[in-house]
Amino acid sequence: MKRHLPYSTPEGYFQDLQQRLADIPGKKQATTFQKFSPYLALAAVFAVAVVVGNVIINRTAAPAAASAREVVEYLMDSDLTLSQLEDAIFYSD
């Protein structure tokens, strides 16, 4: 039984192969900007993500708790003792 190959090379394919390969334009040397532009784009994406995340967190975060100095000033002004203030906070929750 004779073996039949389903694929074949077109006629004259190898005769002008060298010329066709020579006609393919050579690669141009990439500039420094072209070499680093993907990395710059990635860095820009991360910078934008950090800025947007920071804005979202700052706008949605609860206001900062009063400092210890403010608490002491409030206690001195209102003539409350620490235990009275703790009781007020405990019952308000």
- Strand, helix or coil at 92? helix
CA angle 19-24-29, nearest 5°?
140
Q: What is the DSSP string of 14-29?
A: TTSHHHHHHHSPPPPP
pLDDT of residue 74: 75
Question: Model confidence over 31-73: pLDDT tens digits?
Answer: 888 889 999 999 999 999 999 999 999 888 777 666 767 766 7
